[in-house]
Structure 1
Amino acid sequence: MVITVESLPGCAKERLINGDVSIERELVAARIEEWKEGSDCPKAQVIRMLGRAEEIEPQISAVLFEHAISAANFSSDSLSCLPNAPWKIPAEEYETRKDLRNTCTFTIDPASAADLDDALPFEKVSEKVFRIGVHIADVSRFVLPDTALDREARIRSTSVYIPQHKLLMLPPELSEQACSLVPGEDRLVFSIIWDIDDIGNITGRWIGRSVIRSCCKLSYDDAQDIIDGGFEVDVSGKTGPKLHGQFELKDVVDSLRSLHGITKKMREIRLRNGAFWIEIPKLAILFDESGNPCDSLLGVRKESSFLVEELMLLANRSVAEVISKAFPGCALLRRHAEPRSMKLKEFEEFCRKRGLELDASSSGKLHLALLKMREKLKNDPVLHNILMAHAARAMPLAVYFCTGDLRGREDEWAHCGLSIPLYTHFTSPLRRYPDIVVHRTLAAVVEAEEVYVEKRHSSAASDSDDGIGNGIGNRCFTGLYFDEEAAESEEGREALVCAAVRYGVPASEVVSEVAAYCNERKRAGKHVEQSAENVYLCALLKNKEVMFSDARVLRVGSTFMTVYINKFAIERRIYFGEVEGLTVEWIRTTGTLVLDTLKTKPLREVIFLRSAV
C-alpha cells in the first residue's frame, strides 16, 4: 500500500523525518482510502500505531483491532447506570423473592475467577430424592433495556479471555462485585431447581428469582479433590476451602459427592440418548515472573468440570423449553446443525486408512464410534487427539437464532451435538449478551405465570404452593409440563403480553438482529483466542531453542506434508530435503520444524519432534 508522509500520525512523521530506522519494524493498522483502476497499489491511511512488530503486546493489539474487540474502558454513560458502591440488596427484594439462603450452596470455578455467575445448591429431600439446582446471577436486574450500559454490553456482546488479558462485556463493578456470587454475601439470582431421584430422573422443577448466600468458593481442583476422596473432615492436617456462614466442611463434601453421583448418571442418560462429546485437549501457555511465555502444557478436563457442565446444560435446556413455548415467535435459542457431509466423508476416509471404523449416520452412533476409537487408542493418545481434531472440523458451529424466523420448521431448532430439540444460553449473563436477553424473556414468563395463577387459583394456589415441591402443579408455564391451554386463554395471553412489555422482551425482528450480531461477535472472539494463542506459542518458540513434543507425520505429498503437534496441524510447502525417500522433513512455520531423524545444522528456532513417521 502507498502511504503518504503527510497522512502519517505526527509521532510517526517525526520519526521518519529524523531518520529513525526502527520505524521499519513498527506494526500499524491501515485503511485503504483509494485504489484507482490500473494502479498497482492502493492508497492507504495509517489509523493506529501498534508498536514494534516483534513484541508480544503490539501483536495482541493487532489481533484485537483486526477483529474489533474493544479493549477500551467503559464509557461514562455506561458507568452512570451502575448502582452506588458498596451496593446492598433493597428490602423489597427480600419480600418478593424466595429466600434460599439456608440451603447449602457453593460455587465451582477456575481458581483465578472473579466473575462468579453460577452457584450450585443441594438438599436431600429423602433417601431417593434430591433437590439440586443452578443459581445464576440476576444480571438483568442491573442491566436494564435500552440504557447506555445495555447498549455497550450489546456492542461488546461477549467477554474475551486470552492469556494475560481479560476483556469484559460488563464493568467489573458488576461482573466482579455486585453480581458476582462471592461466598458469605447475599446475592440476587435467577434459580432453577429440580427434584431428581437417585437414578437421574427429574420429578419436579421450580424456576424463579431468589436470594442466596454461597458458603464457599471451590476451584475445579478443590472439587476434584473432594470427588477423589480428599478434604475428609476427620483427617487432621487437611485444610479445606474457606467456609462462610452456618455450613461446615462436611456439608459441602457430602453435597458435592452426591451431586457428582447424580450428574454422572444424568450424563450417562444424555449420551445414551444420542448426544456426542468431542474432547480436544486445550493448550495452556505458562508464564515466568516477568510475564514472558516459558513453557506449555495440555490441559485435561476433570470430572469436576463435567459435573458443572451437566447442570449448566440442564439449566439451558430447561429455559429453552419454557421461553420457546411461552413466546414462540421471539425466543432467542441456540441450534446446532447436522455435521457437514463432505467433511464427515473426509473424516470417515481418514479413519478408514488407519484401520478404524466410523459410523456417523446419527449423532448417537458417532458418539459410540468415537468411544470405541478412544478405547482402541488408549495407548496412543497422540493419534486419538488427532482424530478428535478431525472430528471437530466436521462439525458446524452452533448459532443463535430467533424462533420467529423458523416458524413451521421446528425440526431445525434442534441441537445436534446435544441431541435435544431445544437449547439456549442462560447460564453466563456476565459474559454473554444473549443470556441477558434470555433472562428478560424468562422473567416475563415467571411474572405472567404468577399473575395468571393468582387470577385463576388465588387463595388455593398461595396456600399450597411452596414454589418447589407440593405446589409444582400450579406451575403452568415454568413447571415440567407447559399448559398450552392456559397460555392461549385470554388471561394467559394478557399476562404474557403485559409481562413482555414490563421486562423489555424484544420483538422478533430485534431478536433476529441480536442473534446475527452475537454470532458474528462470538466467531470474532474465537478467532482472537486462537490468534493470541499462536502469538504466545511463537514467542515461546523464540524463548526456548529446543522444545520436545509428541507428534506424528500423517500425510506426505509431493509438495507438502502435515505434521500434528499436540492439537496443531501444521501444513506447509517443502523448503528442503529428502530422507530415506521421504520428502519434506524441513518445513517453515513460525520457527523451523525438524524431525529428530534429520541431521541438519544447528538452528535458533527448532522443535524436535519425538515421534517420526
Structure 2
Amino acid sequence: MSHINQAEQQKKFAAYWSMEDVNLALHQGHVFKSMFRVNAHNRLEAYCKIDGLSVDVLITGYHNQNRAVEGDIVAIKVEPFSSWTKMKGSNEASRPNAYVNGSFDGEDVTRDENNHPTGSSTVERRQVILEKLCAMVNAFPSKRPTGRVVSIIEMSPRRKTIVGFLRIKPWLFNRESCQKDTSKSRLVLLSPKRDYIQFISTDPKFPKMMVAVKTLPNSLMKRLEDCDLTLEMELIAAEIVEWSEEYDSPLAHVIHSFGRGGEVESQLSAILFQSSVISSDFPPEAISCIPHIPWRIPEKEFYHRRDLRNLCVFTIDPATASDLDDALSVEMLPNGIYRVGVHIADVSYFVPPHTALDEEAQIRSTSVYLQRYKLPMLPPLLSEKLGSLIPGVERLAFSIIWDINLEGEVVDRWIGRTVMQSCCKLSYEHAQDMIDGTLNVEGLQLYGEFTWSDVVTSVQNLEEIAKVLKENRYKDGALSLENAKIGFLFGKDGIPNDIVLTGRKKSNFLVEEFMLLANTTAAQVISRAYPSSALLRRHPEPNLSKLRDLESFCCKHGLQLNTSTSSELNQSLQRIRRELKEDSALFHVLMNNATKPMQLATYFCSGDVIDNGKDWGHYALAVPLYTHFTSPLRRYADIVVHRTLAATLEAEFMLDINEKKMVKTCFTGLCFNKEEVESFHAQKVLADAAVKYVVPGTHQLADVAAHCNEKKLASRHVKDATDKLYMWLLLRNKQIFISEAIVLGLGPRFMSIYVIKLAIERRIYYDEVEGLTAEWLDTTSTLVLNYCPNNRSHKKGSTSKLKTVEEVAMLTFPDNMVPEKPDLSKHAGIEPAVFPLVLHILSTIPVTLDPIGGDDGPIDIGARLYASSYFVSNVL
C-alpha cells in the first residue's frame, strides 16, 4: 500500500511494543500472554483468558484490539479498575470495602508498587500481581476486567486461510464515476477506491479487508474488467498480508476461487481450506514406506510377542467403518474374575520415527470425518488394510489385559505387544442385538474355531462388566453430558433429504468403557516411566463465570443444581433428568446449557507443566491421568503414546533377570515404587529405551502436543461446518421447515432460541422491524411482541433502515379470511403463534428455518417466528 500518499494518512492504531519490551513486561507481570478470541455476534468484542484468572478479559473496540485477529497470540495490558465493565446479566452490587488495599478507583492492577523484598524474583513479582488481580475479580464479581492489545506475539494461522466474497459493485461504480470525470477533461487523481476492492470474510469474527486490484489472479482480473457481476457469487480464498497503523482495514491477497458459493463442492473445499485440512493424495515417498501387499507378519515378530490367535477377539465399530483399530476379548477365570483384553492395532510398527510416512502423519495429525467420506491421517493401504484389524487375518497389536473382579476392581494387568486374529467384525447394531438376545447372524461371517454362541456370550459378559465399571466411574465423580446428535439421511444424489436425532446404545457405552480404561492405564504407565516426556490429555475445570450462569438459570426455573464438583454436577443432572421425564425438550435445553461452561480437553507434555501433576487431571472423567492410546490409525497422538509404551516395555526387558519382579511392580504393574523407578539402573535402561524408540524430549513433545491440539480443533470445525452445510442444503430443498423452539434468552433487541428438531441455537432480532412492536418489561423479563402494520416509526436517534416483517416472521392468517396460503399439511401438528405474543424464558414458540446465503453471502440457518395475525389479510 506504499503507493498511496502516506503523508495524508494519520495513524489509526497505536504502534506495537517491541518484543524486548514485551518479554520484559511479561516477566514482570505488567502484561499477559493470551489467545485473542472474537465474539462471533459482535466483532468489536473480544476476550482473552489469563491463566489463573477465573474470568476472561474483555478487549472492546478497534483501538483496544489494535489490529489483532481471531486466534492471534497477543500481549495484553489490563486496564485500571475504573475502566472495568459490568458483567453481562449481573445485577450484583460491588463490595467497595472487600479489598484491603483501599480504593480501587483508577488503580492500575499491574503497577509495580516496589514493595517486594530485595532480591525477589520476577516470577514472585508476577505472581503477586496476578494474585492482586484475582483478589479484585473475587471482590467484585459483577465487574469484568478490560484490557488492550499492546503487541502480537504470534500471528494466527487463520490469517492465511480466510474465505469470503469480493464486493465488486462499489468498485465498478467508482470506476464508472472516474471515467465520466475523465471524459469531462477533469484532472483525476489516483483514487484508493479504484485501486482496492473490498473483501468480506464468511467468518464474522474477521474484519472487512481490502484487496489490491492489481494483485488479483488473472482469471478474476479479467472477469472484473469485463464487469462480470457473477464474480460477487464466487467463494474466494485469501490471506491477510499486512495491517499497518495507518489503515482501518487489513490488506488481503486473493489466492484463488473455489467456485460459486451456492455449490456443495465449493463449500466443502472452502471448509477444508479454512481449517488447513489436507485433502490431497499422500506423497509417493510416504506410500513407499508401507510394505507391499500381500504381506505376512515376519517370523521374528512371533518370538517377542504374545500369541493371542486362539483367543476369541472381535471388533465393534460403526457399520461403515473400514479403519478398525480396536478389538475386545473376555475370558472367565475361577473365583468370578473376568480377564478382559483391549487389543489396539500396532500402527507404530509400520510408522517408524523420522520417515516420510511419520512426517506426513504428524502434519495431518488426525483423520477428518465428513458426512459422506473421510480424509485419513494414514494412507488407506495402511489404515484400511495392513494396520486394520480385519477379521480372519493375523494382525500385530498392542494389548492391555486386565483381571477384573465382580465389583469392577482391577486385580492384575498385563501390557505387551501381541499377534491376534479377529474372529468377526460387528457393528454397534449387531452388538446391541447380542445384548438384547435378538441377533440374526444372517449375512455375518465368523472366522476360526469359534461359534456365534462364544461371541454372544463374550459380548454379554463385556456388557455386564462395562456396566459395573461405568457405575464406579460415576461414583468416583465422572460427568456425562450426553445429548442427541444430528444425523442426515442422504439421497442417491448425495444431498440430504431428512435428518434424525441419534442417541447412543448400550453397545456404544460397552466399547467406550474399555477404551477409557485402556487410555487411563496407558497414561499411568507412561507418566511413571517418563514423567517429563509423557504425552497426556487433560480437561480443565469449567469456566466459573459460565457455571454460575448455569446455576442461575436452574435456580430461576426451580431446578436445584450443585456444581461444586463434577460428581455433584452429574448427580444433579441425573436427578433433574428424572424430574423432567415428561419434558424432554426442557432437559435438552438444560444439557445444551451445561456444555457451555466446559473447556476443551487438550494434549500436553508432562514435563512442560511445572505444577507436578496438579493440573494434569481430566475433569469430565474425574481421573488424575489420561491419554489417547486406542486409535492410532486416526490420531497421531496415539502413535506417540505407543512408542513411549514400547520404550517402557523395552526398559523392563533390558533389566537384569533378578530385578524382573521389581520392574513389573514399577513400570507396567499395578503397584508403584517411586524410589525403585528413580534408581540409577532403572533410569539408565529407560534412557536407552527412549533413544531406541525415539521418545521425544520435553520441548519437542510440547510442540507435538500443540500441533495435535490445533489439528483436533480444526477437525472439529470441519465437522461442525459440514453439518451446517448439509442442514443448509436440506432446508434449501424443502419449501417450508417448521419446528418448535424454546426461548433461551430474551431482551429488548433479540431472543435466543433452541430449535428442538435441529438441536441448534439461533437468534431472532425484532428491533426496528416495520410493523412490529417489541415491549420489553425488564422487571419481569417479559417480552410482548405485536404486529401493527401501520407502525413505521424509528427508535429515537436511529438512522438505520427498518427491516421488513417478513425478515423476522413467516406470517399466516386465519383460514376463513384468505383462501390462498402455503401448503402446511406436513406441519399440521405445529400451529402458528397468534399476535400479540407474551414471551418469557423457556416459552415454547413455533419457528420456521430458512437457508441463508450461498451465492450471495456466507451460508447460515436463519430462524423466523411462525405467527398469525388478523392484520395480515389487510396487507396481502
**Is the TM-score greater than 0.5?**
yes
Q: Is the 8 A contact 1:556 1:583 kept in 2?
A: no
1:114 to 322, 341, 349: 322
Q: Is the 8 A contact 1:337 1:416 kept in 2?
A: yes
1:126 paired residue number: 334
Q: Within 2, Cα distance between the matches of 1:81 and 1:593?
A: 60
- Which stretch of structure 1 is more off in the superposition, 265-274 or 78-87? 78-87
Give 2:502's aligned amino acid: G
Mapped pair 1:563 → 2:753: yes
Give 2:363's aligned amino acid: I
CA deviation profile, 1:149-187 (whole Å, cap 9, x unmatched): 111111111111121231111111111111100100011
1:597 paired residue number: 832
Q: Is the 8 A contact 2:832 2:866 kept in 1?
A: no
2:695 to 490, 494, 505: 505
* Equivalent residues in 2 for 1:479-518, closer than 5 Å: 479-518=669-708
Gap runs ≥5 in structure 1: 233-237, 462-471
Shift of 1:607: 6.9
Percent identity of equivalent pairs: 46
1:466 paired residue number: none
Q: Is the 8 A contact 2:220 2:231 kept in 1?
A: yes
Q: Is the 8 A contact 1:574 1:587 kept in 2?
A: no
* Equivalent residues in 2 for 1:14-163, closer than 5 Å: 14-17=222-225, 20-34=228-242, 38-39=246-247, 42-126=250-334, 128-163=336-371
Decide which structure has greater helix share. Answer: 1
Quickly say closer, same or farther: Cα 1:578–1:287, change in 2 above 3 A: farther
Other structure's SS at 2:614 match: helix
Q: Is the 8 A contact 2:309 2:420 kept in 1?
A: yes
Q: Is the 8 A contact 1:552 1:564 kept in 2?
A: yes
Mapped pair 1:582 → 2:784: yes
Q: Within 2, Cα distance between the matches of 1:518 and 1:23?
A: 37
Shift of 1:609: 8.0
Quickly say closer, same or farther: Cα 1:105–1:49, change in 2 above 3 A: same
Q: Within 2, Cα distance between the matches of 1:498 and 1:104?
A: 36
Other structure's SS at 1:28 match: strand
Quickly say closer, same or farther: Cα 1:556–1:474, change in 2 above 3 A: closer
1:323 to 508, 516, 526: 526
1:183 to 384, 391, 398: 391
Other structure's SS at 2:526 match: helix
Count of paired positions: 594
1:338 paired residue number: 541
Shift of 1:279: 0.5
Q: Is the 8 A contact 1:552 1:611 kept in 2?
A: no
Shift of 1:364: 0.8
Q: Within 2, Cα distance between the matches of 1:184 and 1:50?
A: 44
Give 1:542's aligned amino acid: R
1:380 to 564, 583, 588: 583
Asked which structure has the greater CA Rg, the reply is 2
Q: Is the 8 A contact 1:550 1:610 kept in 2?
A: no
2:163 paired residue number: none
Shift of 1:14: 4.3
- Which stretch of structure 1 is more off in the superposition, 552-561 or 217-226? 552-561
2:651 paired residue number: 448
2:449 paired residue number: 246
Using CA pairs under 8 Å that are at least 6 residues apart, name the structure with larger relative contact order, 1 or 2. Answer: 1
Q: Within 2, Cα distance between the matches of 1:584 and 1:481?
A: 70
Give 2:566's aligned amino acid: S
Quickly say closer, same or farther: Cα 1:608–1:219, change in 2 above 3 A: farther
Q: Within 2, Cα distance between the matches of 1:137 and 1:510?
A: 25
CA deviation profile, 1:373-399 (whole Å, cap 9, x unmatched): 111111211111111111111111111
Shift of 1:65: 0.9
1:168 to 365, 369, 376: 376
1:223 paired residue number: 431
Q: Within 1, Cα distance between the matches of 2:628 and 2:867?
A: 42
2:562 to 356, 359, 362: 359
Mapped pair 1:303 → 2:506: yes
Other structure's SS at 2:650 match: helix
Q: Within 1, Cα distance between the matches of 2:786 and 2:320?
A: 43
Q: Is the 8 A contact 2:519 2:628 kept in 1?
A: yes
Quickly say closer, same or farther: Cα 1:516–1:37, change in 2 above 3 A: closer
Give 2:832's aligned amino acid: T
Shift of 1:579: 8.8
Mapped pair 1:396 → 2:599: yes
Q: Within 1, Cα distance between the matches of 2:702 and 2:514?
A: 28
Q: Within 2, Cα distance between the matches of 1:254 and 1:609?
A: 53
Other structure's SS at 1:352 match: helix
Mapped pair 1:423 → 2:629: no
Other structure's SS at 2:737 match: strand
Shift of 1:261: 0.4
Quickly say closer, same or farther: Cα 1:579–1:573, change in 2 above 3 A: closer
Shift of 1:587: 11
TM-score when scaled to structure 1? Answer: 0.91
Give 2:785's aligned amino acid: T
Other structure's SS at 1:131 match: strand
Q: Within 2, Cα distance between the matches of 1:603 and 1:420?
A: 42
Mapped pair 1:573 → 2:775: no
What is the aligned-residue RMSD (CA, Å)? 2.8
Q: Within 1, Cα distance between the matches of 2:528 and 2:390?
A: 34
- Which stretch of structure 1 is more off in the superposition, 365-374 or 66-75? 66-75
